[in-house]
Homo-oligomer: A and B are copies of this chain.
């Protein structure tokens, strides 16, 4: 029930943005409800390690209820938000009572998109959710198994060919990890094929991979990946993806496994807000992160389009989402205290990407690092930011083990491995 001295804040989404908003509101004079259709927070920066069989899903997730449980003024509901009824200030939940709010934070993020080519989806899974990661893991491991069974040499090579579309951090991290799987983890386990003969293609439309990094780092990453044996094609647009075929530029690649790391589109919930969005569907937010004409509604994280320095929208990265989450919470508390909301200013903390064993690139303040020192920094940063002491410890252990043995700890194909391979979902 509405109570001006103890207003209701609904947060949709328990990712980096939503969770940090909830933390910042914990113990404050507001009643917070966090709604998510999943029961867990996902540490997305390490999702590619689940997809490439290094970590278990449980290692990079924490139940939202568990991390927010200790706060008496924060309630967690597992439910899917269907739409926002901004006129009546309530969130419509599928199969549960609507959640009324005085302030709303929408933090439902983005999902991968195919530039209008929805027919590519079954052949080229993206990497946003845990289910995506398990699907990719299944396809990678299954490709080697099918190659071992296959007697036709051309088809065998198609099973041993992997195309990664998109040369951003996710694409680069997948390419590096795939090299390690093919060259190290699977060595000597097959009788008919040599996994190290696998071909890995990385295709990027822009003139360079990792375009958000400084040119020198992008170049270092390119050299390192080429040294690992990745075929990098920049300035190359993918024009067709079908069963066993990728067409890109003048190339026609026979590859059974295609991974999509190229485009994103906003969570569909954004549309129900009825406010201006950009062409990817992200909500154009004001300087204080609220939306046009609705000062009580904030949109944060990947779902928000807010111009950064030079007019370019802030990138969809964890540090942006975390800072936006805290800022939206502060602005709500200011409003509750009858003060004006403040404009958001992003304080960059640096960026990094891993490129396989012993190598990474990192950009922190003016400092640029490559190779082993960057990789150590990457390790430390990811362990530190991972939520939950147990997860930190388990992930550290898994990494130490994998590093020493060159192995992959979680080479597991689940969900009916054989019948579902490579076929589009029913």
Distance A418 CA – B95 CA, assembled complex (angstroms): 9
Q: Closest residue of chain B to A95, judged by CB? A: B418
**Oligomer: number of copies:** 2
* A409, CB-defined interface residue at 8 Å: yes
The answer to whether A69 touches B189 (Cβ under 8 A) is yes
A50's nearest neighbour on chain B, judged by CB, is B58
In the complex, A415→B133 CA distance in Å?
12
Q: Is A131 in contact with B188, judged by CB distance below 8 angstroms?
A: no
- Report A169-194 CB contacts with B as 1/0, cut-off 8 Å: 00000000000000000001111100
A6 within 8 A of B: no
B417 and A131: CB pair below 8 A?
no
Nearest residue, chain B, Cβ from A190: B65
A269 smallest CB distance to B (angstroms) = 15
A39 in contact with B415 (CB, 8 Å) = no
Does A75 sit at the interface, judged by CB under 8 A? Answer: yes
Contacts A79-B149, A149-B77; A415 near B131 (Cβ below 8 A)? yes
Among A222-230, A290-298, A344-352, A391-399, the stretch in contact with B: A391-399
The verdict on A61 contacting B412 (CB below 8 Å), with A77-B148, A393-B401, A418-B37 known, is: yes
Contact present for A394 and B412 (CB under 8 Å): no
Question: Could you tell me the distance in whole angstroms from the C-beta of A216 to the nearest C-beta in chain B?
Answer: 38
Beta-carbon contact of B145 and A414 below 8 Å:
no
Q: How many residues on A have C-beta within 8 angstroms of the other chain's C-beta atoms?
A: 56
B40, B142, B148, B417: the one within 8 Å of A37 (CB): B417
* A window 201-259: CB within 8 A of B: none
Taking the complex as formed, is A165 at the interface, i.e. its CB lies under 8 A from any CB of chain B? Answer: no
Residue A134 CB within 8 A of the other chain: yes
Q: How far is the CB of A181 from chain B (nearest CB, A)?
A: 12
Contact A413–B40 (Cβ < 8 Å): yes
A63 at the interface (CB under 8 A from B): yes
Q: How far is the CA of A120 from the CA of B313 in the complex (A)?
A: 54
Taken together as a complex, chains A and B put the C-alpha atoms of A337 and B394 apart, in Å, by: 49
Residues of B close to A58: CB separation below 8 A: 56, 409-412
A334 in the interface (beta carbon within 8 A)? no
A37, A63, A69: most-surrounded residue (chain B CB, <10 A): A63
* Closest Cβ–Cβ distance, residue A31 to chain B (whole Å): 10
What mask results when residues 382 to 416 of chain A are scored 1 for a CB within 8 Å of chain B, else 0?
00000000100110011001000101011111111
Is the C-beta of A94 less than 8 angstroms from some C-beta in chain B?
A: yes
User: Which of B66, B394, B413 is A189 in contact with, Cβ under 8 Å?
Assistant: B66
A/B interface sample: 26 pairs, CB < 8 A: A38-B413, A39-B412, A40-B411, A40-B413, A56-B57, A56-B410, A58-B409, A61-B412, A63-B189, A66-B189, A66-B411, A69-B190, A75-B192, A78-B417, A78-B418, A80-B418, A95-B418, A97-B151, A131-B414, A134-B414, A390-B401, A390-B405, A393-B397, A394-B394, A394-B397, A394-B398
Additional A-B contacts beyond A40-B411, A56-B59, A394-B394 (7; CB < 8 A):
A38-B413, A63-B189, A69-B190, A78-B142, A94-B418, A97-B151, A390-B407
Taking beta carbons and an 8 Å cutoff, which residues of A are in contact with B? Answer: 37-40, 56-59, 61, 63, 65-66, 69-70, 75, 77-80, 94-97, 130-131, 134, 141-142, 145-146, 148-149, 151, 188-192, 390, 393-394, 397-398, 401, 405, 407, 409-418
